């Protein structure tokens, strides 16, 4: 039988609290079509992890280890490594570190007992720490009588978006890394991914060991966020992930860079009701003109603009898609937010709030009463950013 798979030794070498001296581990059989993200998920399951919605990143060890973008989540393990190769795998922002050594080629039937197209553990050793540091079953239940889920979320602090914006604008990589690390990014992948990209580009001329270390850490965070964006799959996520991967690899993307004011674009696209507005985007310069659609839509332009309008190429201007309060996008955002709540009681309350007329008002009241307003704004803001990025991609451009 042909030896078509890799046999990989995986050892847990680091935890959020520091090094793991006992180095518990697993031997994994890895068929040829398994990607790094498939591999990481199989390792996590083999190690008994129960909250799998975490950032993952993979990098080389030894020579070349300074290139954190060497392995994309979608690269095939067998295409990048051969026996003797060593690579690192980190699970979660807090830093569960693994040393992975490709021991040999192996036959999956002989090693695993049957043909398989996914990675599996075939043996293991050692006491594996719980991913959240739990040493006993939970002794409390919530108000509905349920065992609280994902207790490790309490260890993650809320993202300080102001600090992230300031650090990104200044190209201050060390501050940005501190602001992002240990924060809950579930609802902020668009915002944080864009901020990391801008900061890395703005700090292109930074020198020194500290700057180099910070740049490497930002690159690792970006690689992990790209994987999470692909997995999450919201509108615009695929395009931001591609932009990140192009930045890390130095490759070109199919989308043309354009300096666009994303906050202004999202404001127009999410406006509605009495404050509904429309606008147009100049695909040559990135300029946005906003106007109210109920009057003369060109009232906002002066005579000089009007005289020059006929000279604009037809494909250079396009009306910005607008979204009103009762649009399907807005309602779908509320519905998705409700479904993503870990507490079934909260999820049920929010789902009932958006039934029938007055859904938007009832939903706002509910998130306020449940102390979820900040999380809702973070969630809906990231959805709006993604839709703006999707809108631009449909015209062949990406924001810079």
42-83 pLDDT, tens digit each: 999 999 988 776 778 888 865 433 444 467 777 899 999 999
pLDDT band of residue 329 (cuts 50, 70, 90) is confident
Encoding tokens for residue 27? 């031997």
List pLDDT tens digits, range 5-28: 999 999 999 988 889 999 999 999
Predicted pLDDT at 150: 46
Q: Chain-centre distance of CA 349, in angstroms?
A: 27
Predicted pLDDT at 24: 96
Contact 227, 185 (CB under 8 A): no
Residue 136 has pLDDT above 60, yes or no: yes
Compute, in degrees rounded to 10, the torsion defined by CA atoms 268, 269, 274, 280: 50
Residue 127 has pLDDT above 60, yes or no: yes
Predicted pLDDT at 146: 54
Predicted pLDDT at 278: 72
Residue 256 has pLDDT above 80, yes or no: yes
Residue 211 has pLDDT above 60, yes or no: no
Predicted pLDDT at 61: 62
Contact 194, 388 (CB under 8 A): no
Q: Looking at the domain that runs over 5-125, which CATH code has it been given?
A: 3.10.290.30
Which of the two residues, 70 and 304, has the higher pLDDT score? 70
Contact 182, 192 (CB under 8 A): no
Alpha-helical regions (H) of 258-372: 262-269, 303-309, 328-339, 344-353, 359-369
Q: How many CA atoms lie within 13 A of 364 on its CB side?
A: 5
- Can you give the C-alpha Rg of the chain in angstroms? 24
Q: Which residue has the tokens 């020198």?
A: 207
Predicted pLDDT at 291: 67
pLDDT band of residue 167 (cuts 50, 70, 90) is confident
Pairing of strands 397-399, 256-258: parallel
Long-range Cβ pairs for the range 311-317 (8 Å, 24+): 312/282, 313/284, 315/283, 316/282, 316/283, 316/284, 317/280, 317/281, 317/282, 317/283
Residue 67: how many other CB atoms lie within 10 Å: 14
Predicted pLDDT at 10: 97
Minimum mean pLDDT among 179-183, 190-194, 277-281, 377-381: which range? 277-281
Alpha-helical regions (H) of the chain: 36-46, 77-80, 108-112, 161-170, 173-180, 189-202, 209-232, 237-249, 262-269, 303-309, 328-339, 344-353, 359-369, 373-393
Looking at every residue in the chain, the average pLDDT score rounds to 80
Residue 364 has pLDDT above 80, yes or no: yes
pLDDT band of residue 94 (cuts 50, 70, 90) is low
pLDDT band of residue 124 (cuts 50, 70, 90) is very high
Contact 392, 260 (CB under 8 A): yes
List the domain boundaries for the chain: 5-125, 157-253, 255-400
Alpha carbons 270 and 307: distance in angstroms, whole number:
30
Residue 223 has pLDDT above 70, yes or no: yes
Predicted pLDDT at 57: 80
Residue 314: how many other CB atoms lie within 10 Å: 6
Which of the two residues, 155 and 203, has the higher pLDDT score? 203
List pLDDT tens digits, range 370-381: 999 989 999 999
Q: Which residues does residue 9 pair with via DSSP β-bridges, in sequence order?
A: 27, 101
């Amino acid at each position: 039988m042909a030896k078509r798979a890799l046999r990989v030794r995986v050892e847990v070498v680091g935890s959020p609290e520091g090094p793991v001296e006992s180095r518990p581990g697993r031997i994994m059989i890895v068929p040829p079509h398994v990607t790094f993200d498939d591999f990481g998920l199989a390792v996590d399951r083999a190690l008994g992890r129960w909250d799998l919605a975490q950032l993952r990143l993979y990098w080389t060890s030894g020579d070349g280890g300074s290139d954190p973008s060497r392995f994309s989540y979608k690269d095939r393990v067998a295409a990048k490594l051969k026996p003797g190769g060593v690579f690192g795998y980190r699970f979660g922002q807090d830093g569960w570190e693994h040393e992975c050594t490709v021991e040999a080629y192996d036959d999956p039937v002989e090693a695993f007992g049957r043909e398989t197209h996914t990675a599996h553990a075939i043996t293991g050793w050692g006491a594996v720490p719980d991913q959240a540091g739990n040493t006993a079953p939970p002794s409390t239940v919530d108000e509905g009588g349920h065992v609280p889920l994902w207790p490790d979320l309490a260890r993650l602090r809320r993202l300080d978006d102001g600090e992230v914006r300031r650090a990104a604008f200044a190209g201050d990589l060390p501050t940005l890394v501190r602001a992002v690390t240990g924060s809950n990014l579930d609802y902020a992948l668009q915002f944080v991914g864009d901020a990391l990209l801008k900061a890395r580009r703005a700090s292109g001329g930074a020198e020194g060991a500290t700057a180099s270390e910070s740049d490497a850490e930002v690159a690792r965070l970006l690689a992990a966020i790209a994987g999470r964006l692909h997995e999450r799959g919201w509108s615009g996520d695929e395009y931001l992930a591609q932009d990140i991967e192009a930045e890390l690899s130095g490759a070109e993307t199919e989308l043309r860079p354009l300096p666009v004011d994303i906050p202004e674009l999202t404001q127009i696209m999410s406006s509605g009701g009495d404050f509904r507005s429309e606008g147009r985007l100049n695909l040559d310069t990135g300029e946005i003109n906003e106007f109210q659609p109920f009057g003369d839509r060109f009232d906002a332009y002066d005579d000089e603009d009007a005289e020059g309008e006929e000279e604009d190429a037809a494909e250079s201007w396009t009306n910005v898609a607008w979204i009103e309060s009762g649009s399907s996008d807005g309602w779908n955002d509320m519905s998705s937010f409700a479904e993503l709540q870990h507490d079934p009681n909260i999820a049920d309350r929010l789902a009932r709030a958006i039934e029938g007329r007055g859904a938007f008002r009832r939903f706002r009241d509910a998130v306020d009463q449940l102390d979820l307003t900040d999380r809702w704004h973070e969630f809906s803001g990231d959805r709006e950013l993604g839709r703006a990025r999707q809108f631009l991609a449909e015209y062949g451009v990406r924001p810079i």
